[in-house]
Amino acid sequence: MPLRRFLAVLASLLVGTALLVAVPTEALAAPNFKAPFPCGQRWTYSHHSAEVRQALDFVRSDGGATNGTPVLASAAGTAYRFSQPSGAGNYIAIEHGGGWKTYYFHLGTYSVPNGAQVAQGQQIGTTGSTGNSSGPHIHYEQLYNGVGQTIRINGASLAPYPGSYNQKYLTSDNGCGGGGGTPFMTWGSGIRVRADAYLSSPVVGTLAGPTQVFVLCQKQGDTVTAEGYTNNWWSKLRDQNGFITNIYINHPAAQLPGVPIC
């Protein structure tokens, strides 16, 4: 058989073999994506028909402010920071492995360094309106091999998408933990644990000395000045079933990173 004819036959056989092992266009095992905003919060969402990919825009609908609310990783992966002032603004892409990626556009601030390994539920930024945006919101996408997919949260599709807000809603269970919370060490002694984030709230317990605590969420309350620090953020403790001022959480940030808002 002439060499040219042999090569043509071989190429044909290889193409046929490739067709037999072609990977399906949809992944068989996607991450169990969760909502990109904190535990217990209720947001409404909509889709712009002009969007090329299957994106959704989220805004808060539970009475809280959209602007400045933490944006959470909907699955674990590697986070990369980008900026596109004329479009997506400050945004993060998280590579989840297996061809899966999520986008979080129009961030007000970043909360993780470029290339950071992030856990599901970890804060990666704050909601904003950077880039080509008409107001604070989370523009969120799920992609497989670069192709936008219909968004699924906890395995359930959010389709059909509404064309405007306040038609469909989503309450997040991201960052809730299995009752676990985020571990931190406290410092100081005789720290009062209160029923709420206010100095007038009843004392429900005391931390005698440095203690490992599990923070479920945090919120702003009364401003406290102690030990040379002033802060109005309070942490809700899992095991003590109450709040302490963040002044006594052994972390340099006034608002703890990666901890959802109550």
Pick the CATH number of 182-248 from 2.60.40, 2.30.30, 3.10.20, 3.30.519: 2.30.30
pTM above 0.75, yes or no: no
Tokens representing residue 15 in the block: 């193409």
**Each residue's pLDDT tens digit, 36-53:** 998 778 899 999 877 778
**Each residue's pLDDT tens digit, 137-163:** 999 999 999 999 999 999 999 999 999
**Each residue's pLDDT tens digit, 85-105:** 999 999 999 999 999 999 999
Domain 42-171 has CATH 2.70.70.10: yes
**Each residue's pLDDT tens digit, 199-222:** 999 998 888 888 878 888 889 999
**All structural domains of the chain with their residue ranges:** 42-171, 182-248
Amino acid identity of residue 36, one-letter, is P
Arithmetic mean of pLDDT over the chain: 86
**Each residue's pLDDT tens digit, 165-187:** 999 999 888 877 655 678 888 99
Buried b (16+ CB within 10 A) or exposed e, 46-56: bbeeeeeebbb
